Amino acid sequence: MHSFVYNVPVKVYFGQNQLGHLGEELKRYGTRVLMTYGGGSIKRSGLYDTIVAEIKQAGLELFELSGIEPNPRIDTVREGAKICKEKKIDVLLAVGGGSTLDATKWIAAGACVDHDPWDFLDRSKLAPVEKALPVLDVLTLAATGSEMDGGGVITNPETHEKLGRIVSPTLLPKVSFLDPSVTYTVSKYQTACGSADILSHVMEQYFNLEPDLYMLDCFMEGLMKTVIKYAPMALAQPDNYEARANLMWASSWAINGFITGGKQQAWSCHPMEHELSAFYDITHGLGLAILTPRWMEYCLDETTVSKYVQFGVNVFGIDSSLDPMEIARQSIKAVSNFLYDTLGLKRTFTEIGIDRTHFQTMAKRACNNGTLPGFKPLKQSDIEKIFEMCL
């Protein structure tokens, strides 16, 4: 295994009734606060009023940017950066899911430079991210882990690109408030998509042939079992605190770098999915759910089968005495059953209106016109075949 540095200094307030600390935490970073949020769920749930009251009580000056889209767009980031400069904002408070958090991080970076924020993400430019305004967040959806990672993914509808970059620690939130009860109002569909996303984050790192730490593999198996156990509970009973709490903390730990353990290998389903979202504006977790079992099927061979066996036996309890290939096939079936039957997500591109039109372009971009060096290295032609399997 490789050596690594682990440094994720995000202060987390986990649990109910923690927002009383919001004012004091914001004050550490200044007095002029830009609160960012999405399309209105926080107003409907009453969270908006609670937060505004806390900010006012702390004597802070509040500015707002609303309407951050799912699959957030670069124009919104530009608008936010402009507000930060004009209003001399000291600190940002993102209240929402991964989209709001991601956009806010890039707004925070955009506020500190004179160039277009897209230059940070544009593959041909990759402008350095040296500074950003401090970002705090109140997470409302368990899915992306943006609350504990230093990255964000932004869509440019003009170029059909959806691009992200992890630039820890500059973009790490300073403080994340994780109250599982805030996620009671998340729809069944978004709960299912969020759970599929958490599962995928772990699988992208678990399905790896590099020599690894046994301890991290066990941790990942625990995270995956957590999603498999609690997502159905949250669907059946949206206000089940135990279920929401387990999903929320699993979302953070799936992507906060801990389970990476120095692995060099790239992710596979995520680059493919980001192309789908870029061209069709679909929900991230749904795209992953359609891709993942097909990717597993495509990558299965004599060289990779051992990982499927470990996964199938330890995560789904498949009989270890069976033939390894049989265990692998049963593992793929178990993942499909979970995503499509238990979570109720759609299983094909056709059902969600995706056809072959952009397969070539999307596949070429997903591997950056080269090779995706994931679990099994994938070239454009491989990715096109996986897309075909999803139809």
Nearer to Zn ion, 193 or 315 (CB): 193
Name the DSSP letter for residue 207: S
Which region holds residue 273: left if phi is over 0, alpha if psi is between -120 and 50, else beta? alpha
Identify which of 279, 278, 276, 308 has the alpha carbon closest to the alpha carbon of residue 290. Answer: 276
Binding residue (CB under 6 A) for ligand NZQ from 110, 117, 145, 180: 145
Binding residue (CB under 6 A) for ligand NZQ from 102, 161, 179, 212: 102
Q: ∠20-23-28 over CA atoms, to 5°?
A: 130
Nearer to ligand NZQ, 134 or 312 (CB): 134
Residue 181 interacts with ligand NZQ (CB under 6 A): yes or no:
no
Residue 147 interacts with ligand NZQ (CB under 6 A): yes or no:
no
* 268 touches, from ligand NZQ, Zn ion, none (C-beta below 5 to 8 Å by class): none
* 59 phi, psi to nearest 5 deg: 75, 25
Q: Report the site for ligand NZQ in 318-347 (rule: CB under 6 A).
A: none
Structure-token pair, residue 365: 């971009």
Residue 182 interacts with ligand NZQ (CB under 6 A): yes or no:
yes
Identify which of 224, 312, 287, 372 has the alpha carbon closest to the alpha carbon of residue 71. Answer: 287
Residue 270 interacts with ligand NZQ (CB under 6 A): yes or no:
yes
- Shortest spacing between CB 76 and Zn ion, in angstroms: 20
Residues in touch with Zn ion (CB under 5 A): 197
Nearer to Zn ion, 83 or 282 (CB): 282
Residue 100 interacts with ligand NZQ (CB under 6 A): yes or no:
yes
Nearer to ligand NZQ, 149 or 275 (CB): 149
Nearer to ligand NZQ, 55 or 182 (CB): 182
Residue nearest to Zn ion (CB): 197
Name the pairing type of β-strands 151-156 and 161-166: antiparallel
The beta-strand segments (E) located in the chain are 11-14, 32-37, 61-65, 91-96, 135-139, 151-156, 161-166, 175-178, 371-372, 378-379
Number of alpha carbons in the 13 Å side-chain half-sphere of residue 353:
6
Binding residue (CB under 6 A) for ligand NZQ from 36, 76, 99, 268: 99
Binding mask 292-321 for ligand NZQ (x = CB under 6 A): ------------------------------
* 114 phi, psi to nearest 5 deg: -95, -15
Concatenating the DSSP letter of every residue in 5-65 gives ------EEEESTT-GGGHHHHHHTT-SEEEEEE-SSHHHHHSHHHHHHHHHHHTT-EEEEE
- Shortest spacing between CB 138 and ligand NZQ, in angstroms: 10
Q: Tell me, what amino acid is at 134?
A: P
Give the whole-angstrom CA distance, residue 379 versus residue 196. Answer: 25
Nearer to ligand NZQ, 146 or 176 (CB): 146
- Shortest spacing between CB 247 and ligand NZQ, in angstroms: 12
Nearer to Zn ion, 197 or 382 (CB): 197
Q: Report the site for ligand NZQ in 48-87 (rule: CB under 6 A).
A: 70-71
- Residue 130: strand, helix, or coil: coil
Bridge partners of 73, per DSSP, are: 155
Binding mask 207-246 for ligand NZQ (x = CB under 6 A): ----------------------------------------
Binding residue (CB under 6 A) for ligand NZQ from 36, 104, 190, 226: 190
Give the whole-angstrom CA distance, residue 359 versus residue 177. Answer: 40
- In the complex, which residues of this chain contact ligand NZQ (CB under 6 A)? 38-42, 45, 70-71, 96-100, 102, 140-141, 143-146, 149, 151-153, 182-183, 185-186, 190, 194, 197, 255, 270, 277, 284-285
